[in-house]
Structure 1
Amino acid sequence: MEFDPVWLLLGLPLAFMLGWGASRIDLRQLRAENRSVPKAYFKGLNFLLNEQQDKAIDAFIEAVQNDPDTSELHFALGNLFRRRGEYDRAVRVHEHLLSRGDLEQKDRERAQHALALDFLKAGLLDRAETALARLEATPFEGQARLALLAIYERSRDWPRAAAIACKMHGASQGDFSTRQAHYLCEQALELASKDPLGACALLEKARDAAPDAPRPRIELARLQQRQGRPEAAAATLKALAGEAPAALPLAAALLVETSQASGQTAQALDLLQRHYAASPSLDVLDAIVTLTAATPGQADGQGRLWYLRHLESEPSLVAAAKWIAGERLEHEQYHPQVQRALDHATLPLTRYRCAACGFEARQHFWQCPGCQSWDSYPARRVEEL
């Protein structure tokens, strides 16, 4: 039986129609699928931009249900849960991502980082530490180490904080020499009452780690003075004036104490006067007045004249109040009331203020109690800023 070409002519239009119909069905299905996920996703994004987080979460949950394999939607949903403080739900989302066997390595590392942030925000520091430790040798390594550093500082685990800082310093992730010196100083303060020699060794190590840092020298001088070694303490403070002169106001009162105990008041007074001439400071001024008053042969009230000299160049209410405190007024019977008012007015001016967050305190802190920043307190009082 011969093949009739007529059938071929009739079959070609039929095959074309069937192929066209099948393609239209596939295109409709593909378009419907492509519309369903972006519509919910963009609806959630719109709610998020309008700060309607509840509706945004509902929209993202709908999008995830339509396409549970889309990792980006899971990340968006987990971040929203964390921002709202629903840390348990954020943890479940990111743990679900980590449990998927088809997740790419970069998304797995991203999910691990997000999970660590969930634990950090929730205050679960032990679980956060474990999650952060798994980010070594990943693109999130630097951020993870910084977070670990914050955890160890918060828990006052100074040896482990020092180890992380050393690792970051060695990896060129920043200069952590001053931070390492702080950690050594903190360890020395904890050890000082039980092992003064060991504490001194730690402070000397801190001084060598950060030669320009003032804290190791100040803490070392304070410890030497408590050990009954005022000559050594005075020598340490003299080195401080040479290496970190801006911090001398923090040690001015200690310099007075050590110089008087070691019989070096003349040398200390000369050092303070030279420093004051270069950079006037209230604390250095007080130290000069104290030493001048204690120097033999000085007339009564000679030391307080320094306050008047300071007022000639600096309009200081604190200096004025201290000068008036030692003077006799025309109406002396009202002096206590006037002095009390002046002291009350100057009290806020004698505080220290954090340059990072503005937290004020009566004493100087190396680490701000408010924002936990290191070296954010200037060595000067509020009135001098």
Structure 2
Amino acid sequence: MEFDLQAWLLIGLPLAFVLGWLASRLDVRQMRREHVDSPKAYYKGLNLLLNEQQDKAIDAFIEAVQNDPDTTELHFALGNLFRRRGEFERSVRVHQHLLARADLPASERDRAQHALAQDFMKAGLFDRAEAAYRALVGGEHDREARLALLNLYERSRDWRNAAEMARALEVSGAGAFGQRISHHWCEVALEADARQQSAEATEALALAHQAAPQAPRPQLIAGQRALAAGQAGEALTHWEALLQADLASFSLVAMAYAQAGQSCGQVERARATLTSAHEAHPSLDVIKALAVLDGSALAQSPLVLPYLKQQATLAAAQAVLNRPAEQWTQECADAVGKALDKAGRPLQRYRCAACGFEAQRYFWQCPGCLSWDSFPPQRIEDQ
């Protein structure tokens, strides 16, 4: 019996070792096969994607996901591909599947939530996109979520929420949003005036000025509201403050400023302000306003020809062309010719019919798309 036990031990121990070794080798081979098959499908999909074969790339990624359903990166790649192709429903399903997994780490869950929010945004489902982005506020994607919500509120004209979100972004250190917030409250003021809610509009305009004291729009709107209410003198004060804050923006209300000066009997004040504005920042709109104060036509203004010589715009050239024949001089002709030459320059080129490339000289082969005979033999203005 003792001999038999020793014999079994001598035979059994090596056999057990061999069987264990074989089992481990089979397990390693299986693991290697799984890990090799998945990257092969992944790299195949990546190669197809680089070759702009998106349909075949999607099939390859689906195959890779089936081989390794636990790999989140493949799911994200597949979802992004669906979104780029406009297949938002399939993209949503992929990302919702990721969110439904109980073993998903918190960082990957936030990433899937962010991708899902982008799906809803691209699909035009703004209410669902808002809820998805709201779920990301305070997390790893906080700044991206708040910026997306800000754009969403602006797109849907939800100005109060837009102002609140812009303020939160500014507090968090994402940048300066004062000018943007000022525009939000200006929009609230205009909507309130449209509903004849004057007190609400006044409050919103005050918040707009508070958000960006140097912003031109609150002063511009305040002047317009004052003029509409019959308070022309107050309108002049607001627009003079606008002139101090932003010279260029004053030209937007130059004509209204002249009319306000006339209606309240302060023509000389208006003329002095407009003259100062034109000297600091020449503008045809300001010249028109000065002509109104003088009771003359724009063509008669002595400021038009110097402005045309300086700016060479078609609007100024048209004003000079409207002058009576007896006031027409060689100086006028030269200034108008210069303006017409400047305006006509973009049209004196050849344009490729295939890609739209423009050039001053004619090409038989387009330098842009390399097409032959794609340039019509006529310039743009002759077509």
The code of the aligned residue for 2:208 comes to: A
Structure 2 Cα separation of the partners of residues 323 and 293 of structure 1: 17
Contact 1:293 1:302 in 2 (8 A): no
The sequence identity of aligned pairs, in percent, is: 48
| Matched residue, 1:161 | 162
Structure 2 Cα separation of the partners of residues 302 and 269 of structure 1: 18
Aligned mate of 2:313, from 294, 312, 316: 316
| Matched residue, 2:233 | 231
Structure 2 Cα separation of the partners of residues 53 and 207 of structure 1: 51
Contact 1:78 1:91 in 2 (8 A): yes
1:301/1:32 CA distance change after superposition, 3 Å = closer
| Matched residue, 2:114 | 113
The code of the aligned residue for 1:280 comes to: P
Q: CA deviation at 1:314?
A: 2.6
Does residue 147 (structure 1) correspond to residue 148 (structure 2)? The answer is yes
Contact 2:236 2:261 in 1 (8 A): yes
Contact 1:293 1:301 in 2 (8 A): no
Count the aligned residue pairs: 332
Does residue 127 (structure 1) correspond to residue 124 (structure 2)? The answer is no
1:192-271 alignment to 2 at 5 Å? 192-193=193-194, 194-271=196-273
Structure 1 Cα separation of the partners of residues 63 and 299 of structure 2: 82
Aligned mate of 1:284, from 276, 283, 286: 286
| Matched residue, 2:177 | 176
CA RMSD, 1 decimal: 2.9
The code of the aligned residue for 1:262 comes to: C
SS for the counterpart of 2:295 is: helix
1:92-116 alpha-carbon deviations (Å, 9 max, x no partner): 1111111110000001001111111
**Where do 5+ consecutive residues of structure 2 fail to align?**
329-338, 344-383
Contact 1:288 1:303 in 2 (8 A): no
1:177-226 alpha-carbon deviations (Å, 9 max, x no partner): 11111111111111114122432332133122211111111011000000
| Matched residue, 1:307 | 304
Q: CA deviation at 1:280?
A: 1.6
Contact 1:119 1:125 in 2 (8 A): yes
Does residue 40 (structure 1) correspond to residue 41 (structure 2)? The answer is yes
1:95/1:301 CA distance change after superposition, 3 Å = closer
Structure 2 Cα separation of the partners of residues 329 and 8 of structure 1: 129
Alignment TM-score, normalising by the size of structure 2: 0.79
Query: Higher relative contact order at CA 8 Å, sep ≥6: structure 1 or structure 2?
Result: 1
SS for the counterpart of 1:309 is: helix
Q: CA deviation at 1:302?
A: 9.1
1:245-295 alpha-carbon deviations (Å, 9 max, x no partner): 23111121121121111222222222222222222222222222322336x
The code of the aligned residue for 2:126 comes to: L
Structure 1 Cα separation of the partners of residues 32 and 298 of structure 2: 93
Structure 2 Cα separation of the partners of residues 70 and 144 of structure 1: 25
The code of the aligned residue for 2:239 comes to: L
Structure 2 Cα separation of the partners of residues 4 and 153 of structure 1: 86
Structure 1 Cα separation of the partners of residues 212 and 274 of structure 2: 24
Contact 2:65 2:75 in 1 (8 A): yes
Structure 2 Cα separation of the partners of residues 314 and 320 of structure 1: 10
